[in-house]
Amino acid sequence: MDTPTRTRTSPLPVHHGPLAVNTNSSSTAFFDRIANDRKLALNLAIAVVVVVIAVVAGILVYNHRSAVAADQLSAAMQTYAAPIRSAENPVPASMRSFGSTDERAKAANVEFKAIADTYGMTDAGRNALYLEGLTALQTGQNSTAEELLKKSAGSWNRDISNLSGLALAGLYHQTGRTSDAVAEYNRIIAKPSNVVPAGLAKLQLAEMYDSDGKSADAKKIYAEIKDKDPKSAAAEVASEKLNGPAAR
């Protein structure tokens, strides 16, 4: 006959020795102390509130700084896009304009630098750093541009990193450092982004080879673009480079 299963109705005994249940652990004692010490409980509650307030305040400050930086970046972009006046292209006196693209780039560079230096941790500040490097490059400040673009290329934001990388590769090519340019293009190709897809970097690399007279290397890249991503805009450009513009 089967022995009926007994249901325990009393607690397990507390054993002594190595397997004894520690009913006075540090965590238990800590919470018991809080429960019995109103002053300690109040101090802990105040500490939690202070931390929460600090976090919320930090978020509010960051959001405020981000908004200010975005406004300043918008103003700087207006400078960067201001019209160039000339005898053939007169501009109303009430509208801000510049006598040359170099003059405009220098003015925008000052504004981009101020934003990047003050709001570097914001999205607008990171964009401003890239644009500061780009305008330095456009005004012939190659060493400064290289330093800024390298810093920007190290951004965790892949789009900004790759935009900076394209400008940096162009600078390397202009200054005779073709191997560095190739390495930068390949870095972007290996880690593309929405704004700078691999196809765009491949096209610019192929165009660099074309300009250096390395047509075989360029054609190899154009063919690769067509084969791997035939429906992309980059493939359409690559096809034209290989076969000439399509008849319309």
Per-residue pLDDT of the chain (248 residues; tens, 9 = 90+): 454 545 444 444 434 444 344 444 555 555 555 555 667 666 666 777 777 777 777 777 778 888 999 999 999 999 999 999 998 889 898 999 999 999 999 999 999 999 999 999 999 999 999 999 999 999 999 999 999 999 999 999 999 999 999 999 999 999 999 999 999 999 999 999 999 999 999 999 999 999 999 999 999 999 999 998 888 899 999 999 988 755 44
Domain that includes residue 65, residue range? 41-85+94-140
**Among 139, 142, 133, which residue's Cα sits nearest to residue 115?**
133
Report if residue 79 sits inside a domain. Answer: yes
Element (H, E) at 139: none
Report if residue 29 sits inside a domain. Answer: no
Give me the pLDDT at residue 13, please: 44
Report if residue 119 sits inside a domain. Answer: yes
- Residues 6 or more apart from 155 whose CB is under 8 A from it? 126, 129, 130, 161, 164
Report if residue 100 sits inside a domain. Answer: yes
**Among 168, 202, 160, 208, which residue's Cα sits nearest to residue 184?**
168
Give me the pLDDT at residue 87, please: 87
Report if residue 75 sits inside a domain. Answer: yes
Give me the pLDDT at residue 179, please: 96
In whole angstroms, give the CA distance from residue 231 to residue 228: 9
Longest dimension (CA), the chain: 115
In whole angstroms, give the CA distance from residue 175 to residue 181: 10
In whole angstroms, give the CA distance from residue 193 to residue 159: 6
Say if residues 234 and 197 touch (Cβ distance below 8 Å): yes
Number of domains in the chain: 1
Report if residue 243 sits inside a domain. Answer: no
Report if residue 50 sits inside a domain. Answer: yes
Give me the pLDDT at residue 158, please: 95
Report if residue 183 sits inside a domain. Answer: no
Give me the pLDDT at residue 8, please: 44
